[in-house]
Structure formats: structure tokens, C-alpha cells
């Protein structure tokens, strides 16, 4: 049977649409803007999303959607607690904002590494992949990692203080990268979260009242709320010392 040029012009677009419809229904069609990572096919985590497939175009909200790690936790791990809209930050921005620190790079691979460790999923980072100090503190507190693993991670840990000194004013003189944050009058809520405490723990230290704005000092908030700063300071410091 011969198909005329006019007939081909009608049939070919129809076949194209049918083909796309089939691949979409079968799960093989993904647009370039898809933010759904591939799933692991082997091991104990088979069927779960693969942290190694996190791409630079993923925002923190995309990662929360796929891996169910709260944006607040992701932001705290990478020193972004004071960001106006951390959910919209794309992972590829890390390389521009942080880049190389002490010979190691804070970038997309760092997020993959953090997510994999947080969820106990397989991933092999690059040799120069860095792990921010706040991310390490969160993993130490929440991920249930062994002492041996935590000791190994120390080799990849870098401080973010030299990159954004205005966000950590005074802390570099008060403690080095190996020490816990010391709560002072100028300590911001964002610094407390970046040090590894959860918002729930901060609320507990405040006696049950909601936490203040992330870019506000703990002392100023206590004065605003009419509560004693020294008691809150002691409670926060005690929680940090337990990390």
C-alpha cells in the first residue's frame, strides 16, 4: 500500500504522539526538568532513591521531596539557615558560593555524600569532596554513625567560617573547627542550628516558646520575650556539649 505525501504528513505526527504517550505511561519518558532521581537496584536500599543521582539543578526542596530530609536540615548542614528562601537554593550554587576550601570542594558531590550518610545509602564520594562542619555535626547527632565512620569523615570536614565570616562573626576567635559553638550574646539562631541542634531542641531550651528569626541573636530574642538569657544560654550549651 502506498502512502501519499499528504497521508504521511498526517500519520507521522500521530505516530509521534502515540510513541510519547506510550513511553510516558511505561515510565521511560522523563523531561529534562524532571527532579526524580533514579532508584538503587541492588543492596539493602534497593528500590530507594539513589543519592548519587542528585544533580546540580536540584533545589533543597527537590531533595526534601525525593529523600524526605527537611529543607531546614539540609540548609543547616550547608550553612544556609539564615538564607531568605533556602528551599529554592540549587545545589549547583554551592560550587560558586563555597568552592575549594582547604583543598577540598563543597559542591554537588557534598550534598550527595551528606544525603547518603544521613539515610545510610551507598555512595562513593570523590577524593576532594568536602563535608561542611555543620553537616558533620548533624550526622553525628542524627544519623547513628559509628565512631569509626565519624572518625573517617573528619578527613573530609571543612569549616565554612572563612567563606562567610559575616554570618559567623566572632566565632572564629572563640573556637576552632574542631570545637563546639560557644553560646554568647551575639550568637544567632542560625549559628545554633548550623552547629547541629534541631529547632525542637532550641524550643526546648527556650522553655517551649517558638524559636526566633534565624538571623536574630538568642539574647535579643530572650530580652524581647522577657525570659532570662543566662538560663537559655546554659540549656543550649548543654545540648551542644552532648553532640
**What does the pLDDT look like over 134-147, one tens digit per residue?**
999 899 888 999 99
> pLDDT at position 90, please?
96
Model confidence pLDDT, tens digit, residues 29-83: 444 456 899 999 999 999 999 999 999 999 999 999 999 999 999 999 999 988 8
Higher pLDDT, 111 or 228: 111
Do 153 and 215 have their domain in common? no
Strand partners, 101: 104
Domain that holds residue 91: 51-158
Do 67 and 111 have their domain in common? yes
Predicted confidence band of residue 170 (pLDDT cuts 50, 70, 90)? very low
Do 129 and 203 have their domain in common? no
Angstrom distance (rounded) from CA 225 to CA 67: 36
Closest by alpha carbon to 76, among 235, 208, 223, 188? 188
Angstrom distance (rounded) from CA 184 to CA 240: 13
Which grid cell is 232?
Answer: 537559655
The reply to whether 116 falls in a domain is yes
> pLDDT at position 95, please?
87
Q: How far is CA 38 from CA 53, 55, 57, 186, 200, in A?
A: 6, 11, 15, 44, 32
Sign of CA dihedral 61, 67, 71, 76: negative
Do 110 and 74 have their domain in common? yes
Do 57 and 129 have their domain in common? yes
> pLDDT at position 226, please?
86
- Over range 164-179, report the average pLDDT: 42
Do 55 and 152 have their domain in common? yes
The reply to whether 195 falls in a domain is yes
Q: Is residue 212 predicted with pLDDT exceeding 80?
A: yes
> pLDDT at position 243, please?
76
Angstrom distance (rounded) from CA 167 to CA 158: 16
Scored b (16 or more CB within 10 A) or e, 175-203 reads eeeeeebebeeebbbbbbbbbbbbbebbe
> Which of 158, 190, 213 is where one domain is finished?
158
Q: Which helix (H) or strand (E) holds 101?
A: strand 99-101
Predicted confidence band of residue 181 (pLDDT cuts 50, 70, 90)? confident
The reply to whether 92 falls in a domain is yes
> pLDDT at position 5, please?
54
The bridge status of strand 131-132 relative to strand 157-158 is parallel
φ/ψ bin of 208: left (φ > 0), alpha (ψ from -120 to 50), beta (otherwise): left
Predicted confidence band of residue 6 (pLDDT cuts 50, 70, 90)? low
pTM listed for this prediction? 0.61
> pLDDT at position 97, please?
87
**How many structural domains comprise the chain?**
2
Do 56 and 153 have their domain in common? yes
Predicted confidence band of residue 209 (pLDDT cuts 50, 70, 90)? very high
Do 100 and 190 have their domain in common? no
The reply to whether 42 falls in a domain is no
Q: Is residue 206 predicted with pLDDT exceeding 50?
A: yes
The reply to whether 90 falls in a domain is yes
Q: Is residue 20 predicted with pLDDT exceeding 80?
A: no
Amino acid at each position: 500500500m502506498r502512502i501519499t505525501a499528504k497521508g504521511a504528513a498526517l500519520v507521522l505526527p500521530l505516530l509521534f504522539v502515540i510513541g510519547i504517550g506510550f513511553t510516558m505511561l511505561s515510565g521511560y519518558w522523563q523531561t529534562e526538568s524532571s527532579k526524580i532521581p533514579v532508584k538503587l537496584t541492588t543492596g539493602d536500599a534497593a528500590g530507594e532513591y539513589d543519592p548519587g543521582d542528585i544533580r546540580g539543578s536540584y533545589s533543597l526542596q527537590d531533595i526534601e521531596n525525593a529523600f524526605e530530609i527537611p529543607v531546614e536540615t539540609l540548609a543547616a548542614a550547608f550553612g544556609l539557615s539564615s538564607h531568605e528562601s533556602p528551599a529554592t537554593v540549587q545545589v549547583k550554587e554551592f560550587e560558586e558560593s563555597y568552592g575549594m576550601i582547604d583543598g577540598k570542594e563543597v559542591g554537588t558531590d557534598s550534598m550527595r555524600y551528606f544525603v547518603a550518610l544521613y539515610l545510610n545509602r551507598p555512595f562513593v564520594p570523590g577524593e576532594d569532596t568536602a563535608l561542611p562542619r555543620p553537616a558533620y555535626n548533624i550526622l553525628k547527632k542524627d544519623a547513628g554513625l559509628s565512631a569509626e565512620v565519624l572518625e573517617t569523615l573528619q578527613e573530609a570536614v571543612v569549616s565554612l567560617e572563612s567563606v562567610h565570616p559575616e554570618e559567623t562573626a566572632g566565632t572564629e576567635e572563640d573556637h576552632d573547627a574542631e570545637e563546639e559553638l560557644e553560646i554568647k550574646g551575639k550568637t544567632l539562631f542560625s549559628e545554633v542550628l548550623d552547629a547541629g541542634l534541631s529547632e525542637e531542641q532550641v524550643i526546648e531550651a527556650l522553655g517551649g516558646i517558638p524559636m526566633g528569626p534565624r538571623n536574630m541573636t538568642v539574647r535579643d530574642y530572650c530580652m524581647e520575650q522577657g525570659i532570662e538569657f543566662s538560663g537559655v544560654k546554659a540549656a543550649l550549651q548543654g545540648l551542644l556539649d552532648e553532640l
